Amino acid sequence: MSVDLRVRATEVRELMDDPHADEEMLGRTYERFGAVNAVVSRPGRLYRRDIRPRAALRPIRILDVGAGGGDLCRFLVRRLRRDGLEAEVTALDADERAIRWASAHDDGAGIRYRCALSTDLVDEGDHYDVVLSNHVLHHLDADEFDTVLRDTRALAGPGGLVSHHDIARSRLAYAAFASATWPLSPTFLAGSFIRVDGLRSIRRSYTAQELAAVAPSGWTVHRHVPARLELRWEAPHAGS
């Protein structure tokens, strides 16, 4: 049966979002995310363009919203250490299972883990130089989307950056992910949610035009390869 990708399939739910999801499968999913996201998300580009130039000036604070198993945070810490740069990295997720797994697999990264909502950090008066998310926006309903954008903008300090990364929905993206993950299903991806949830994520995701239509004033949408979207906001520097 063909999949309709003309509109967002907001009624589709990802298996790992089920509060009763099998925790062993959830752990295997988190464990494999790093390898999958290295190809799909290409975090090296984010590091080179937005993280390293800021950290080269002074130690910075980074917040990953909806950090899941923490693979992006660990990647950034490894790159920063390799380049001799300093940053305080916080992994934020409202799912206690994700924070529990990520903190147990910190591997000496020294990441700060918080099981909380972005609104909680706003209420605490927290601020960061870079606020990130990866594969979060497509999970959110309209009210949650507005709240996350409002909160992450509030959490960016003077001159700070907010950069939300997600999948761009298209037939090509769906076909490419289905084809690339099919041979890995009985091996590397076995016992995880990655293949099923990845395809569901693409169905729930935005096109560039859809994301631009719902983004508030001041936010910009950027297309990246492969099949990536970035919703971006940069704060003015103090005194400007």
pLDDT at 165: 98
Adjacency order of strands within the sheet including 87-93: 112-115, 87-93, 60-65, 128-134, 156-167, 228-234, 220-224
- Among residues 205, 125, 138, the alpha carbon closest in space to that of 169 is found at 205
Question: Please, which residues bridge with residue 131 across strands?
Answer: 63, 162
Encoded amino acid at 192, one letter: S
Give the pLDDT of residue 155: 98
Amino acid present at 148: V
Q: What is the pLDDT, as a whole number, of residue 238?
A: 56
Per-residue confidence (pLDDT) for residue 162, from 0 to 100: 98
Do 113 and 99 touch, CB atoms closer than 8 A? Answer: yes
Burial of 99 (0-12, 13-18, 19+ CB in 10 A): buried
pLDDT of 10 reads 96
* pLDDT for 107: 93
Per-residue pLDDT of the chain (240 residues; tens, 9 = 90+): 589 999 999 999 999 999 999 999 999 999 999 999 999 999 999 999 999 999 999 999 999 999 999 999 999 999 999 999 999 999 999 999 999 999 999 999 999 999 999 999 999 999 999 999 999 999 999 999 999 999 999 999 999 999 999 999 999 999 999 999 999 999 999 999 999 999 999 999 999 999 999 999 999 999 999 899 999 999 886 554
